[in-house]
Structure 1
Amino acid sequence: MKKLINTPARVVRDMLEGMARQAPHVAILGDENVLVSRPQSEAADRPVAIISGGGSGHEPAHGGYVGPGMLAAAVCGEVFTSPSTDAVLAAIRATAGPRGAVLIVKNYTGDRLNFGLAAELARAEGIPVEVVIVADDVALRKHADRSQRRGIAGTVLVHKITGAASARGMALDDVARIARHAAANLGTMGVALDGCTLPGAERSGFTLADDEIELGLGIHGEKGVERTAPLAADALTDVLIENIVDDSALKHGERVALLVNGLGATPQMELDIVMRAAFENLAQRGIRVERAWSGTLLSALDMPGCSISLLRVDDATLDLLDAPTDARAWPGGGAVNAAIRIDAPMPQAQGSVRVESESAHDWARRIRPALNGVADALIASESQLTDLDTQAGDGDLGISMTRAAHAIRDVPDAALSTPAEALAALGTALRRAIAGSSGPFYATALMRASRHLAGIDHPSAKDWAAAFTHAVQAISELGGANAGDRTMLDALLPAASAFEEAVSGGRSVDDAWSLAVAAAQEGAQETANMTPRAGRASYLGARAVGIPDGGAVAVACWLAALTPHLRG
C-alpha cells in the first residue's frame, strides 16, 4: 500500500518532528515520543498537568491538542499501540508540579495498564496523580457495561474541558472531578465505510463490499458490532443518534455539545451533511445543541467513516468548552447558528407572462413536447456523460445534465407563449440549475438567441437558423474556445453551419435539421482525436485523446432529441 513515509519504524518520530515544527509552543521530550507544552514554568507554579495519549494513527490526536488550555503532554505510542509506561512517566515528570497531574485514558487494556502503572510510579515519587478513564462508545452498550466500553472520539471534548479547568488554577481533585463528570455525560458511536491500512501493511485490516457498512467500530481498525447495508446520510445519522440518546438517557429540553468526527478519509462535505442531519434530529427531539463541531479531530488513519459524539452540558461545561487554548488542532468556535437562512433579494417586477392569445397557446403546445423530449434524452444519457467526463474531466457532467433536464421540465407553460420568451425562460432555468461551466454557456446561448427572435411571433426557418448561429457564437465569445479545441463547440459549430446552409439552399426544415444532427454527431465523435486546448480536459493534454468530449456528446444528444418535434 502506497504511503508517504520513510520506514514504518520511523513513522511516529518523523510525524512528531513535523508536528513540532508547526507549533512553537510545543517540544519533543528527549528521546521519548512525547510532545510537551512549553515554556514550562517553575514546578511550584505549574497548574495541574493534563496528560493523555495512546497509540498513534489518530491524528490530530493527541499531539495536536498540546498547548496551554488543553494538554500539557501527549504520549504517543507506535501506530495503534499503547505507549510504554516509561514514556508516560517521563511526561508526568516533565510537566507535573506539586499540584500533580490528571491522566486522561481511553478505555483500552494497554492504555489502562501503562498509564495506570506510570501513575503508581509517579505517586511513589511524591507526584499526586489522578487517572480518568473515558469509555464513551455506546455501540457496546448491549454487549458490555460501561467499564468495559472503548474510549473513542468524544475523548477530545474531555481534553478540552479538563485543560480549561486546569488553566484556571483548580486543585487536582476538582480538575479530576470535572473530567470524570464530562466522561460520564458523554456518548459516541461511529460507522466505517471501509477499513484502514497501517504503515507497512499491504492491505487494510478489513474490507467492506460496496453494499456493506460497519456500525459501531472502534478507532484501531477493529471491526464494529454490526455489518449492514449502506444507508443515506440522514437515516444513518438517525441510527447513531438514537443509540447515543437512548444510552445517555437524554430527554426533551436537555442541552448538548455535538461533535461529528471524521475517521481520516471522509471529506468535510460529508461530515457537514451528517452535522446537518444530527442537528435536525436532535431539534425534533427537543434537545438543544449549544455547541457543534464537524471535522477530523480523532482519526483512524485513512478510514472512511465518521462518529457522532453528544456531551450533556450545563453553563459551567460550556464555559470550559469556550475557554481559549493554544492547542493547534482544537477547532475553536462551536457557536451554533440558529437561523441559517435569509430571504434572497427578489428581482424587480417585470410583469407576469400569461398565455392569452391562441397563438401563445399554440406555441406552448408545440414547445412543451420538444422540451420534454430533450429532458428525457438527457436523463437517459446521464451514465454515459458521467463516464466520459470522469475520464477527461471532473465527472459532474451527467448529473449536471440531469439537473438541466429537471429544470427544463419545470419551465411553466406560461413562459412558452413565444419562441423568444421560451428561450429566455430556458436560459434562466439552466443558469439556476447547472453549476460549473455548462450553466453559463447554455444560458448565454439561449439569451442571445432569444434577443435575436424578440418581436418575431412566427420565426421563419431562416430566423431560427440565424438564432442558432448567434447562440453558438455567444458560447465561443464567452469561453474563448474555437473549433478544434475539443469542447461542446465542436458539435455546435458544424450543426449550426449545416442547418443554416441547408435552409439557405432551400432544403426543408426536416432535411436541414437531419443534416445538423448528423454534423453534430460527427463533430462529437471527432473530438476523440483532438488534443484539448480549452476547458478542464486541457489539463490532461494528450492523455484525453481517444475519449470523446462529454459536452459535445451532450449537444448531439439533445439536438437529436428535438428531431421529432420540428415542423417544416
Structure 2
Amino acid sequence: MKKLVNATSQVVREMLEGIACTAPHVAVLGDENVLVRQPLPAREARAVAVISGGGSGHEPAHGGYVGEGMLSAAVCGEVFTSPSTDAVLAAIRASAGPNGALLIVKNYTGDRLNFGLAAELARAEGIPVEIATVADDVSLRATTSRAQRRGIAGTVLVHKIAGAAAARGLPLNEVAALARAAAGNLGTMGVALDGCTLPGADHAGFQLAADEIELGMGIHGEKGVERVAPMSADAIAQTLLANIVDELGLQRGERVALLVNGLGATPEMELAIVTRAAFEQLGARGLTVERAWTGTLLSALNMPGCSISLLRVSDDTLALLDAATQARAWPGGGAVNPRIRIEADTAIARDDAPAAPDARAHDPAWSARLQPAFAAVAQALLEHEAVFTELDEKAGDGDLGASMRRAAEAMRAVPASALGSPAGALAALGGALRRAIAGSSGPFYATALLRASRVLADLPQPGARDWAHALRASGQAIGELGGAKPGDRTMLDALVPAAEAFEKALDASKPAAQAWQDAVHAAQTGAQDTAQMMPRAGRASYLGERAVGTRDGGAVVVACWLEALTPFIVDTK
C-alpha cells in the first residue's frame, strides 16, 4: 500500500514534528511523543491541565486538539497502540501545576492501564490527578455494560468541554465532574465501508466484500456488531441514531449536539448527506439540534465510513462548547441553520424559447413526431452510459456518463406541450439540458440547441435543408463558445463532419433519410478518428500524448444521438 512516509518506525515522531511546524502554540516534549501547549504560564499560575491521547492514526486527534481552551497536552502512542506510562507521566509533569491535571481516557485496556498508572505515579509526586473515562460506543450495548464499552469519536466533545471548563479557572474536581457528566450524556455509533491500512502494511487489516458494510466498527479496525448489506445514507443514519437515542433515553423536546465524523477516507460530500439525514430524523423525533459539526475529527487512518455522536446538552454545556479555543483542529462554530431553503426569485420570467413562434403556432403533429425522437435519443444515451463513463475516465474526470444520464432524464421530462414547433422544441430542450447538466456538456448543448432554434424560428414547417442549416449552426455555436475547432479532439470532430456530410448529400439530391445516414457515418468516423488526435481543447488537453489511443467521449456521444435519430428522418424538400 503506497504511503507518504519515510521509516514506519518514525511516522508518529515525524507527524508530531510536522504538526508543530505550522502550529506555533504547540511543541514536541523532549524525546517523548507528546505535544504540549507553549508557552505555559508559570507552574504556580497554571489552571487545571487537561491531558488526553492514545494510539496514533486518529488524526486530527489527539495532537490537533492541543491549545488554550482545549488540551494542555496530547500523548501519542504508536499507531493504534496505547502510549507508555512514562510518556503520560512526562505530559503530566510538563503541563500540570498545583491545580493538577485531568486525564481524559478512551475506554481501552491499554489506555486505562497506562494513564491510570501514570496518574498514581503523579499523585505520589504530589500532583493532583483525576481521570474521566469515555465509553461512548453504543454499538456494544446489547452485549456489554457501559463500563466495558469503547471510547470513540464523541471523546472530542469531552475534550472541548473539559478544556473550556479548565480555561475558566474551575478547580480540578469541577472540571472532572463536567467531563464525566458529558461522557455520561454521550453516545456514538459508527459504520465502516471497508478496512484501513497501517503504515508499512501492504494491505488493509480487514476487507469487506462489495455487498457488505460493518455496523458498530471500532476506530482501530475492531469488528463491529454486525455485517449487513450496503444501505443508503438515510438508512445508515437511521440505524445509528436509533441505537444512540435509545441508549441515551432521549425524549421529545430534549436538546442535543450532533457530530457527524469521518473515519479518514470519507468525502465531505458523503458526510454532508449523512448530516442532512441526521437533522431530518432527529427533527422527526422531536429532538432539537442546538449545535452540529461535520468533518473528520477522529479518524481511523484511511477507513471509509463515519460515526454519529449525540450529546445531551444544557445552556451550560453549550457555553462550554461555544467557548474559544486555540486548538487548530477544533472546527469551531457549530451553529445550525434553521432555514436551509429559500425560494427562487419568481419575478424573473424564464423564457427558454427566444424568438420561437408564439403559442398559436403550436402544431400537435410536431409533438407526435418529436416526442418519440427525443425518447429514442434518451434511451440511446442511457444504454451507452457505461461507455461514456469509461472513455471520460481515461481522458477526463469520468462524469460524462452521469451527465448524459441526466440529459436523458431531462429529455424525457420535456412536456409534449413544449414540442409544438421545431424551434420551440429545440429551445425547450436546450433549457432542460442547461438546467440538468453541469460541467461543459450542459452549456455546449444548450448553446447549440438555442442557436439551432433561432435558425428555425420563422419556419413552422422546415425542410431538410433548413434542418441541415440548423445542424451546421449548432456546431458553429459550440466552436464560438468553447474556442475549439475540428481537429482539436472534441465533440466538434463528430458534429461538424456530420453537418457537412448532410449538406453535401442533400446538394447531391439524395433523399433526406439517405443523407442522414451519410451524416451518421461521418460522425462515427470522426469520433473514431479522435483516438489518433492530439487534444488541444478541453480537459483532455491536459493529458497531451497520454490521451492518444482513446476516442473522445464527447464525439462518441454526438455519434450516438445522431444515430438514434435515424428512424425519424423522413424525406422532405
Give TM class, smaller chain: over 0.9
Tell me what 1:472 maps to.
475
Is 1:328–2:328 an aligned residue pair?
A: yes
Q: Deviations over 1:88-118 (max 9, x none)?
A: 0111111111111100000000000000000
Structure 2 partner of 1:190: 190
Counterpart code for 2:516: W
Residues 355, 417 of structure 1: 8 Å contact kept: no
Q: Which residue in 2 is equivalent to 1:288?
A: 288
CA-atom RMSD in angstroms:
1.4
Asked if 1 retains the 8 angstrom alpha-carbon contact of 2:85 and 2:115, the reply is yes
Quick one: distance in 2 between partners of 1:177 and 1:355? 75
Once the two structures are superposed, residues 469-503 of structure 1 have per-residue CA deviations (whole angstroms, 9 ceiling, x without a partner) of: 01101101111111111111111010010011112
The residue that corresponds to 2:512 in the other structure is 509
In structure 1, distance between residues paired with 2:232 and 2:244: 19
Q: Distance in 2 between matches of 1:347 and 1:192?
A: 47
Q: Does 1:544 align with 2:563?
A: no
Aligned equivalents of 1:6, 1:114: Cα separation in 2 = 28
Give me the whole-angstrom Cα distance separating, in 2, the residues matched to 1:239 and 1:191: 10
Specify whether residues 47 and 509 from structure 1 end up closer, same or farther in structure 2 by C-alpha distance, changes over 3 A only: same
Opposite residue 10 of structure 1, the aligned amino acid is Q
Q: Secondary structure at the match of 1:241?
A: helix
Contact in 1 for aligned 2:352/2:430 (Cα 8 Å): no
Counterpart for residue 87 of structure 1: 87
Give 1:139's aligned residue.
Answer: 139
Question: How far, CA to CA, are the matches of 2:289 and 2:334 in structure 1?
Answer: 10
Q: TM-score, normalised by structure 1?
A: 0.98
Choose from 543, 563, 566 the match for 1:563: 566
SS for the counterpart of 2:392 is helix
1:32-72 CA-to-partner distances (Å, cap 9, x unmatched) read 11100111111121110000000111000000000000000
Separation in 2, partners of 1:258, 1:65:
18
Distance verdict in 2 for CA 1:356–1:70, change over 3 Å: closer
> What SS does structure 2 have at the residue aligned with 1:207?
coil
Q: Which residue pairs with 1:215 in the alignment?
A: 215
Do the aligned residues in 2 keep the contact of 1:34 with 1:76 (CA within 8 Å)? yes
2:45 pairs with 1:42: no
Give, in whole Å, the separation in 2 of the partners of 1:286 and 1:538. Answer: 53
Q: State the shift of 1:383 in Å.
A: 1.1
Aligned to 1:245: 245
- C-alpha deviation, 1:380, in angstroms: 1.0
User: Partner letter of residue 83 of structure 1?
Assistant: P
- The answer for the alignment partner of 2:20 in structure 1 is 20
The structure-2 alpha-carbon separation of the partners of 1:95 and 1:355, relative to structure 1 and needing over 3 Å to count, comes to same
Are 1:206 and 1:223, in contact at CA under 8 Å, matched by a contact in 2?
no
State the alpha-carbon separation in 1 of the partners of residues 347 and 289 from structure 2: 36
Alignment partner of 1:30: what SS? coil
Deviation at 1:505, TM superposition (A): 2.3
Shift of 1:355: 9.2
Q: Which residue of 1 aligns with 2:368?
A: 365
Give distance in 2, aligned partners of 1:499 and 1:356: 31
Give the SS at the match of 1:298: coil
Aligned partner of residue 152 in structure 2, secondary structure: coil
Q: Label 1:356 to 1:204 Cα distance change in 2 as closer, same or farther (>3 A).
A: closer
Aligned-partner SS, 2:363: helix
5 Å-filtered alignment, 1:117-266, equals 117-266=117-266
Residue 493, structure 1, aligned to residue 496, structure 2: yes
Number of the residue aligned with 1:418: 421
Structure 1 Cα separation of the partners of residues 508 and 314 of structure 2: 82
- Structure 1's consecutive aligned runs of 4 or more residues displaced over 2 angstroms after TM superposition are 346-359
Separation in structure 2 between the aligned mates of residue 457 and residue 355 of structure 1, nearest angstrom: 11
Structure 1: runs of 5 or more not aligned: none
Report if aligned partners of 1:420, 1:454 keep a CA contact under 8 Å in 2.
yes
The letter of the residue matching 1:544 is A
Maintained 8 Å contact 1:12/1:33: yes
Q: Contact conserved, 2:361 with 2:460, CA < 8 A, in 1?
A: no
Q: 1:397 to 1:126 in 2, by over 3 A?
A: same
Contact 2:352 2:431 in 1 (8 A): no
Q: CA deviation at 1:421?
A: 0.9
CA contact (8 A) 2:361 2:421 kept: no
The alignment's TM-score, normalised by the length of structure 2, stands at 0.97
Deviation at 1:136, TM superposition (A): 0.3
Matched with 2:406 is: 403
Provide the rounded CA distance (Å) in 1 between the counterparts of 2:6 and 2:51. 29
The 5 Å alignment of 1:84-123 reads 84-123=84-123
Gaps of 5+ in 2: none
Q: Deviations over 1:168-187 (max 9, x none)?
A: 00011110000000000000
Residues 527 and 26 of structure 1: CA distance in aligned 2, closer, same or farther (over 3 Å): same
What is the alpha-carbon distance in structure 1 between the residues aligned to residue 560 and residue 547 of structure 2? 21
Q: What does residue 382 of structure 2 align with?
A: 379
Conserved? CA contact 2:158–2:179, under 8 Å: yes
Once the two structures are superposed, residues 141-174 of structure 1 have per-residue CA deviations (whole angstroms, 9 ceiling, x without a partner) of: 0110000000000000000011000000001111
The residue identity in structure 2 corresponding to 1:48 is V
Distance 1:507 1:202 in 2: 64
Distance 1:530 1:356 in 2: 46
8 A contact 1:166–1:175 mirrored in 2 = yes
Determine the C-alpha separation between the residues in 1 that align with 2:215 and 2:350.
54
Closer/same/farther in 2, CA of residues 352 and 88 from structure 1, 3 Å limit = closer
Instruction: Give the conservation status (yes or no) of the 8 Å contact 1:50–1:166.
Output: yes
Aligned to 1:71: 71
In 1, the alpha carbon distance for the partners of 2:30 and 2:471 equals 74
Question: Deviation at 1:319?
Answer: 0.5
